[in-house]
Amino acid sequence: MVTILFTTQIILTVILTVLVLLQKSSSIGLGAYSGSNESVFGAKGPAGFLVKATFTVGLLFVINTIALGYLYNKSHNQSVVDTIKTQSGTVPTVPSAPTVPAAPSAPAAPQAPAQK
């Protein structure tokens, strides 16, 4: 199901991009390549049709995005960390640092000679 929605998402993206680029703007956009559309869409041209088509495809795009996000999250609810297996089931401990031998102590002071 996720694959079908993802493919639909790509198709809707391409259609929506083309519809937005075909709309008349101050620089005409790609509408210049559409030729004479007055005979197909009526006296006003494609303006009304393109606005309605863009709105419809945009709405389908949003609905498809929400459905795709919901289903993808539902089917991929597991993390990669959940698949890692430990040997003993416990967290391994960090080895302790090697012990350093104690420094030699200073020699004892010589005793004073006994007085006679």
> Given a cut of 70, is residue 53 above it in pLDDT?
yes
Kindly report, residue by residue over 22-37, the tens digit of the pLDDT: 887 655 555 556 554 4
C-alpha torsion 7→9→14→20, nearest 10: 170
Any residues with CB less than 8 A from the CB of 48 and at least 6 apart, and which?
A: 41, 42
Taking a C-beta distance cutoff of 8 angstroms, is the pair 63, 55 a contact? no
Strand (E) or helix (H) holding 97: none
Other beta carbons less than 10 A from residue 50's beta carbon: 19
pTM above 0.75, yes or no: no
Q: Residue 111 is encoded by which pair of tokens?
A: 């005793």
- Residue whose pair of structure tokens reads 């640092």 in the numeric block: 97
pLDDT: which is higher, 25 or 7: 7
